[in-house]
Amino acid sequence: MATGTTLSRHVSAEEDWRKDAAGELASLLEPMAFAGKILAREIDQAALAGKLGLAGDQNATGDMQKKLDVISNEIVMDAFEGCSLLAGIASEELSEAVVMSTSEDARYLLCTDPLDGSSNTDVNAPLGTIFGILQRSRMGELSAEEFLQKGSELVCAGYVLYGTSTVLVYTAGSGVHGFTLDRGVGEFMLSHEDIRCPHKGTVYSANVGRHNDWEPGVRKYLDHVTEKDKPSGRPHSLRYTGALVADLHRCLLDGGVYFYPADPGNRNGKLRLLYECAPLACVAEQAGGAASTGRGPLLDVMPEAIHQRTPIAIGSVENVALYERFMAEG
């Protein structure tokens, strides 16, 4: 498909090829794309509109909410208002899942981090929105347990990156495609068709300020990638933005690995499985990359709670495999 194709046209073509979506994929992605457009505008204008800084409350997982956290959650929920296909939403900013539709057509669930990297809001650094769509296991009254599915069950996943441009990346199980927002016409246009993550990269992304608290295997891995060895391309370069979406996007395009292991203060890891790690793991694997807890495939982890946390290593296959090897050796 030619570069310059709109998101809606691309999704329609994918549905024609799949023969099983019956227009549902477009009906689910269009509200997310609309939310991305509105959020891009809000982020651009936040400093001028007094929308930077803390909101004064903690979210469901104990993080202090920024004003844009609250705004972004409202924007995503408003975008899906009236979408009869969506039964409910689980969000980082909501303590419990919220019912969106009781229609007989409401066969899907949305898991989302509406504003990934919100600590970047006040310093004009990259931000993102993460989304994953699951199919309901049954009909009738919605229960929170229906969200507790492995990442391998996701029917669609992706993210919106707000940086030097606004980019929407998604997969529906047949590759990964990226679309850049053309602000002049108000459309996401195909800019990155069939993204393929390089098999190996020389960049790593990690909050190395915590390295003294990491277990021995992770510290040895960090020592390995930062030691000088010209034939193997080491030392690797550190690139860490504080926004998971931005760091993963770099890995998908240029190769490398992002990792956030457990530490004494976050014994199950810091990032959330259902609406951060699993959707991005789905994208990475569809692009030919890999995602791991450090001890096994991340997409195989069965969540036990909506806000469950997990360690993660994600990016190029060889880099993730090497990380797992150091973890295993300890």
Active site residues: 63, 69, 92-93, 113, 115-116, 276
CA geometry: angle 17, 23, 26, nearest 5 deg? 95
- Interacting residues of 296 by C-beta distance below 8 A, sequence separation 6+: none
Phi, psi of 129 (to 5 degrees): -130, 130
Helix axes 216-226, 317-329, angle to 10 degrees: 130
Q: Is 135 buried (19+), middle (13-18) or exposed (0-12) by CB count in 10 A?
A: middle
Structure tokens at 308: 């469950």
Structure tokens at 194: 């069939």
Q: How far is CA 118 from CA 113, 128, 265, 269, in A?
A: 10, 8, 20, 18
Amino acid at 192: H
What does the alpha-carbon distance between residue 259 and residue 232 come to, in Å, rounded to a whole number?
20
Phi, psi of 139 (to 5 degrees): -105, 180
Helix axes 278-286, 244-254, angle to 10 degrees: 10
